[in-house]
Amino acid sequence: MKVLILCTGNSCRSQMAHGFLQSFDPLITVCSAGTEASGKLNKKAVQVMSEIGIDISQHTSDPVDKYLNDEWDYVITVCGGANESCPAFIGKVKHRLHIGFDDPSHALGTDEFIMSEFYRVRDEIKARFHEFYLQNIK
C-alpha cells in the first residue's frame, strides 16, 4: 500500500498526516510532498506531534515532482481554505481523495492562540486520517 499526501508547502498539515498514517501502520509506504515545497518543516508542527509521541523531525519537505513517476494506491490532498488551491497530481493513482484542513501556520494572534490552532488541526488530522485508515486500508 502506497499513499502520497499533498499540499502546497509540505511543511505542516501534510507532514502531520504523514506522521499519523505511518504510526497507524508502519507497513504502509507513506510520503508527502508539496507543489511549492518549503524545504523545511514547520517547527510548531514538529513540536505538537512530538508531544504525542510521533517524531516527524526527520521528514523532508519534498517537491511533488519527486513522486510523479511512482504508482500510488491513494493520493490525498489536505489543503483547506477557500483561498488555497490544492495541487493536482498527474501520476499513476488508483484513488484520489481530498481531506481538507485549515492551515495553522497562517493563524494570527497571541502565541497561545496560534498553538491552540496547531493542536486543533493536529487532532482533526488524527481523527480524519484514522477514519480513512480504518475504512480504506485496514
Is 31 a known active-site residue?
no
Cα separation, 50 vs 54, in Å, equals: 5
Which residues neighbour 88 within 8 Å (Cβ) at sequence distance 6 or greater? none
> Which member of 3, 4, 5, 7 is catalytic?
7
Reported in sequence order, the residue ranges of the chain that DSSP labels E, i.e. its strands, are 2-7, 29-34, 71-77, 92-98
The answer to whether 79 is a known catalytic residue is yes
Mark whether 7 is an active-site residue.
yes
Task: State the catalytic residue, choosing from 28, 86, 115, 137.
Answer: 86
CA 82 to chain centre: 18
Catalytic one among 17, 41, 75, 79? 79
Instruction: Pull the grid cell for residue 103.
Output: 492551515
* Catalytic residue numbers, as ranges: 7, 79, 86
